[in-house]
Amino acid sequence: MIPILPGNKPVFQVIPAAPVKPTKGGAETASGTAKIESSDPANVAVELLKGDASGLTFTLSFPEKAKPFTDVKAKIAWTHGDLSVVGTLTRTGIDEDLQGGVFKQIA
């Protein structure tokens, strides 16, 4: 796994506690309507992974000049319709104060 450190871009998957409602085509997807936000975008930027039709994967990026990690307490929030998954970033992942599901680091 890519370390959660300045200069790196680890990839995470959103796993909502409730299933994502199927689109008209029947696939479970949040693409086009999913949103991801960071409470501290200057030090922890988030972006949905381009090319992922599910809308359930995203990258974190940390500028080289980001605050020391111990000072960063960013909340990450993913939303799609009435679903939301929220958690606080730590050195080991987005694994504190989780609500509505989990964030799993996949790269």
Whole-angstrom distance between the N-terminal and C-terminal Cα of the chain? Answer: 5
> What pTM was estimated for this model as a whole?
0.86
- The pLDDT of residue 68 is 59
Residue partners of 24: CB distance under 8 A and separation at least 6: none
C-alpha distances out from residue 14 to 56, 64, 100, Å = 5, 25, 10
Instruction: Compute CA distances 83 → 30, 33, 57, whole Å.
Output: 10, 11, 15
Residues 22-70 have pLDDT tens digits of 655 555 566 667 899 999 998 889 999 988 878 899 999 987 777 656 5
